[in-house]
């Protein structure tokens, strides 16, 4: 019974050529038309719903977080279990001067202070160098302003604005007329 139902279901799904009446003889279903229409029975491209991109992003974030978190946790566990915390001992300052990184308690802090973070002495000397450069620059600015003031007072120097100003020809004619009216001496000869 079940087998006959399955066979009838398969028979209803499969395409079949209907025998048409003689009126529609040209419209008869041929095997070539059936193959072209049904695609030759090859697997069809089915429509599926799109994947949830947020889920993929979360998976990737978790994976990359594990790439960083697992090695970091292993390193921290190793240092805490096998290296251990530092212990301060009394020492003679004349015989031994400890490094800056030896004052930290935890091994990871000591490693960071030794290899990553800059030594406080070096940063101190860098700041002193910056202050010295700023002081030299200030001294140079004060010296140049002093030189400019002396050149202005003595009306000398290589600066072009201390020379005689350029006067246009029209203004020169007016000045000559005014000088003649007021009985001034003639203009000094041009250089």
List the chain pLDDT tens, one digit each, 191 residues.
655 665 666 566 555 555 545 555 555 555 555 555 555 566 667 777 767 788 888 999 999 999 999 999 999 999 988 988 888 888 888 998 888 888 888 999 999 999 999 999 999 999 999 999 999 999 999 999 898 888 777 767 766 555 566 667 777 788 888 888 888 766 555 55
The predicted pLDDT at position 135 comes to: 97
74 and 88 in a common domain = no
d(CA 137, CA 32): 94
What the block records as the tokens of 7 is 């066979």
Residues 158 and 130 in one domain: yes
Is 137 in contact with 127 (CB distance < 8 Å)?
Answer: no
Does residue 175 share a domain with residue 136? yes
* Residue 138 CA neighbour count, 13 Å, CB half: 6
167: in domain = yes
Q: How many domains does the chain have?
A: 3
Q: Is 157 helix (H, G, I), strand (E, B) or coil?
A: coil
Say what the pLDDT of residue 30 is: 58
Q: Within this chain, do residues 95 and 135 fall inside the same structural domain, yes or no?
A: no
Give dist(CA 108, CA 31) in Å, integer. 79
Query: Do 153 and 164 have their domain in common?
Result: yes
The pLDDT score that the predictor gives to residue 45 is 72
Question: What is the C-alpha to C-alpha distance for residues 178 and 170, in angstroms, rounded to an integer?
Answer: 13
In a domain, 165, yes or no: yes
Query: Given this model, what pLDDT does residue 73 score?
Result: 92
Any domain includes 109: yes
> Distance between CA 150 and CA 131 in Å, rounded?
29
Q: Which domain holds residue 89?
A: 84-117
């Amino acid at each position: 019974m079940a087998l006959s139902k399955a066979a009838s279901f398969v028979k209803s799904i499969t395409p079949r050529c209907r025998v048409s009446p003689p009126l529609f003889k040209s419209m008869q279903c041929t095997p070539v038309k059936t193959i072209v229409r049904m695609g030759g029975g090859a697997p069809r491209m089915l429509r599926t719903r799109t994947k949830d991109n947020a889920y993929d992003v979360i998976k990737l974030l978790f994976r990359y977080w594990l790439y960083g978190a697992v090695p970091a946790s292993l390193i921290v566990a190793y240092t805490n279990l096998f290296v251990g915390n530092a212990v301060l001992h009394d020492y003679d300052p004349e015989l031994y001067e400890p490094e800056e990184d030896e004052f930290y308690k935890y091994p990871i802090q000591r490693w960071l202070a030794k290899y990553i973070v800059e030594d406080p002495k070096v940063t101190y000397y860098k700041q002193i160098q910056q202050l010295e450069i700023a002081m030299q620059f200030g001294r140079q600015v004060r010296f140049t302003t002093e030189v400019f003031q002396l050149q202005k007072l003595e009306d000398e120097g290589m600066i072009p604005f201390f020379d005689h100003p350029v006067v246009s020809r029209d203004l020169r004619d007016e000045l000559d007329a005014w000088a003649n009216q007021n009985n001034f001496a003639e203009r000094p000869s041009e250089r």
